[in-house]
Amino acid sequence: MTSTDVEEIGTDAATLGELYRRMRLIRRFEERASVLYRDSQIPGFLHLSIGQEATAVGACWPLDDRDVITSTHRGHGHCIAKGLDVTEMFAELMGRETGTNRGRGGSMHIADPRKGIFGANGIVAAGLPIAAGAATAARLRAASGTGAASGTDEGDGTDEGDGSAGGDGSAGGVVVAFFGDGAVGQGMFHEAVNLAAVWDLPVIFLCENNHYAEFSPEADQHRASLADRARGYGVGYAHVDGNDVLAVARTASRLVRDLRAGAGPVLLEAETYRWHGHYEGDPERYRDATEVDTAKIGDPLLVLARRMEPEQVAAIDRDVDELIEKAVATASAAPEPDPATLYHYVTSPREAVAEPPEPAGEIFRTMDAVHDALDLELGSDPDVFVAGIDVGAGGNVFGLTRGLAAKYPGRVRDTPISESAVIGVAVGAAMAGLRPVVEVMYLDFIGVCLDQIMNQAAKMRFMSGGAASLPLVIRTQFGAGRSSGSQHSQSLEALLAHIPGLTVVMPSTPADTYGLLRSAIRDPNPVVFIENRLLYGRKGPRPASDALIPLGKAAVRRQGTDVTLVSYSKMVHNCLTAAEQLAAEGISVEVIDLRTIAPLDYETVLGSLAKTNRLVIAHEAVTPFGVGAELAAAAVREGFWTLDAPVIRVGAQPTPAPYAPSLERAWLPDVERIAAAVRESASA
C-alpha cells in the first residue's frame, strides 16, 4: 500500500489551516521548551520532536474519543496532536502541580488516559505491548457490543484527586502505537507485533523513522526492513512520506477506516527527520550540520504552507505564538507540588473488606479455589478477562483454568510465549477500563517481563498524577522441593515487594486463595498473586461463595505466648507443625500468616511481638534481603522495647536453588530448622 491509493483528505482552506495549526503548535511548543530547558526552567531530560510534526498530526487526524495512542520519550507532539492542553504540558515539564500529571511524570511520561493518551514512555518500545492491551479492550468491547467503559479511580489513598482511565473504548476503537526505528531492536517490539497479529488486534504500529536510534545511524542497527518484518509477522505494511502531513493523514485515515471495519494490525513506516539531537544538550558528534540543513529543506510546515495562502499562514503563526506565550506565562506562575503530597497517587484506595467467618463448607483443593474464584469473577463482571500461555484450551499447565475458555468465549485467551507482551496487555487493558487477570507460568519468569511490571504497571498511576487506574492481576506460581532447579524454584516476592505501587499476595490455604484472589481481581491496584504449586492439591474447607479476604491483613493461625513465628505461603504449614512439636516441650508459639507481603501487616506482627517479646520469621526465599529482614528491621525500630531476644530469620541458603534432592533438602528450611530457631529464641 502506498499513500497514493488511499482515500483523499480535503484540501480546502479550513482543513489545510487546521493541519498547519496543529503542526505549528507542536513546533512552537518544542522550540519554547528548548529555550526553557536551556534557561533551567525545565529540569531532568528533554527530548524534542522538531521536524517530525507531520507524522504526529497526520496519524492522529482520523482519531476520536474512542481511540488510544501510546508514545515514546519523544512524545510531546503525539500528545498535542491527540488534544492535550499545552499550558498543562508546559507546567508538567516545569514540574508544577497544575501539570498534566501534577508534576509526577515530566517530559518523558506525559499521559492522560482520559483522553486516550496512554503515555509517553521513558523505556524504548515499552508502549507497544500496552498498545496491544488497549486494542484488546477495544476488540473485547466490540465483540460484546458494550459501549464506553472507563476505569474510574476515586481518590489517591489520601482522599485527594480523582482519576479515571481509558479512552471511550466503544466498538470500533483503534490504537496508534508510535515508536522510533531504534525500538525495532527491542524484544517488546517483536512480542507486541506478534501478539497483535495472532489476536488480530486493531493497532497501527507507526514507526517514525528518523534514521537515528539515539546516536546510531539506522544502517548500524538493522539489516531487515520494516516491510520484511511485516511479512514475517503476517501483518499489513504501509509506507508514507513522514514530512507530508496530507500524505500521512490520508494513509492513516484509510488504515483507521479498515481497522474499524475489522481489519488486523499494520506496520506503518513514516520517514522523517529529527532536527535536534537525541536529547537537549546532545553534542551530536554522530552527524554534521550539513546533513541537518539538507533535511530542513523538507520541513513539514513549509511543505504544507506552500499549498496555503501566505496570509492564512501568517495569521495562524501569530495566533499560535500568542497561545504559546500565554501558556508559558501561566505555567511558570503555577506552584510546585506540596511536599506533603509526596505519597499521593502511589496506589488507589481499596475498599474495606471484613474478615469472613472461618470456612465450614465441603472440602476442596487450592487448585479448585483458583478455578472457582476466576469462574465467579468472569461470570459476575464482563470487564474481567484471563490471558496467558495455554490458559485456554489447555487450562494452564496445572489445569487450573480448564473449562473456562468454553464457558466464556473470547475472555480466556491463549497468548504466545511472550511474557512482556502478556503483562503489557494487562497494563493497556486495565488503563482502558478492563480488569485483566494474566498469568506468568513461573515466578522465575518475571525477569523477562520485569519492565512491564516494574516501570509500567507499578508506576503508571503515580506518573500520571492519579489519572490512570491499573486494576490488574498477575497470577504466577513457585515452589521448591521437587528438583525443579535454579530457574523454576525461586521465591522472589521480596524483589516485587520492593517496588512501590505493587501489591504482592501469597496465600497458604484453599479458602484464603479463593478469597484473596477474588479481592485481588476487584482491587483497583496492580496485584501480583503468587501461588505455591505444592499447595495446589492441599485440601481445606470451602468458604461461602461471596467470601472476600482483605488484602494487607495477616491472620493469626495459632495463638501463643512465648514466641511469635511469622511466615506465609507453604512455609506456614511447616511453622504450624513445628509449633505443635514445640508445645510438647512447653514452648507456646504464636503463628502468624502474613498472606499479603506488600503491604505488610506490621500492626499484627508487632502486636504479637508485644505479647511474646520474641520474633522468628521463616520463609522459603533465601534469607538475605528478604521479608524476614524487613520484619526484623521493623521489630528493632518499632518493637525495640518489647524485644527480649534477638530476632531470628530462617530461610533458604544464599545459593541458587540446587537440582539434586540431597542438596535441595540442605538448601530449603524445614520443620526442624524452624523449631531449632524457636528454641534458640525461647532460651535467649
Could you tell me how far CA 646 lies from the centroid of its own chain? Answer: 40
363-541, CATH topology level: Rossmann fold (3.40.50)
Q: Give the CA angle between residues 505, 508, 514 to the nearest 5°.
A: 70
Q: What is the pTM of this model?
A: 0.93
pLDDT tens readout for residues 444-468? 999 999 999 999 999 999 999 999 9
Q: Is the model more confident about 170 or about 17?
A: 17
Classify 285 as helix, strand or coil. coil
The answer to whether 264 touches 197, Cβ cutoff 8 Å, is yes
Residues 255/204, Cβ–Cβ less than 8 Å: yes
Q: With cut-offs at 50, 70 and 90, classify the pLDDT of residue 220.
A: low
Task: Judge whether 269 counts as a catalytic residue.
Answer: no
Q: Which residues contact 656 (CB under 8 A, 6 or more apart)?
A: 486
Instruction: Find the mean pLDDT for residues 620-638.
Output: 96
3-state secondary structure 92-156: HHCCCCCCCCCCCCCHHHCCEHHHCECCCCCCCCCHHHHHHHHHHHHHHHHHHCCCCCCEEEECC
CATH topology of domain 555-683: Rossmann fold (3.40.50)
Place of cell 500468616: 593
Q: Check if 363-541 and 555-683 are the same fold.
A: yes
Q: Which tens digit of pLDDT belongs to each residue from 395-434?
A: 888 999 999 999 999 999 999 999 999 999 999 999 999 9
From 191, 419, 620, 664, the catalytic residue: 419
Judge contact between 31 and 280, C-beta under 8 A. Answer: no
Peptide linkage before 550 cis (omega within 30 of 0): no
Ranking 93-102, 290-299, 660-669, 673-682 by mean pLDDT, the lowest is 290-299
pLDDT in tens, 308-361: 999 999 999 999 999 999 999 999 999 999 999 999 999 999 999 999 999 988
pLDDT value of residue 237? 97
* Coil, strand or helix at 68: strand
Q: Considering 47, 276, 344, 488, which one is annotated as catalytic?
A: 488
Q: Would you state the CATH architecture of domain 44-82+115-145+172-312? A: 3-Layer(aba) Sandwich (3.40)
For residues 212 and 126, the model is more confident at: 126
Comparing C-alpha atoms, which of 96, 88, 92, 87 is closest to residue 109?
92
Confidence category of residue 302, pLDDT binned at 50, 70, 90: very high
For residue 21, give the 3-state DSSP assignment: helix
Is residue 488 among the annotated active site residues?
Answer: yes
pLDDT confidence bin for 279, thresholds 50/70/90: low
Instruction: Give the pLDDT of residue 213.
Output: 62
Q: If you average pLDDT over residues 604-624, what whole number do you get?
A: 98
Where along the chain do its domains lie?
A: 44-82+115-145+172-312, 363-541, 555-683
| Cell, residue 195 | 501478539
In terms of C-beta density within 10 A (0-12 exposed, 13-18 middle, 19 or more buried), how is residue 244 classed?
buried
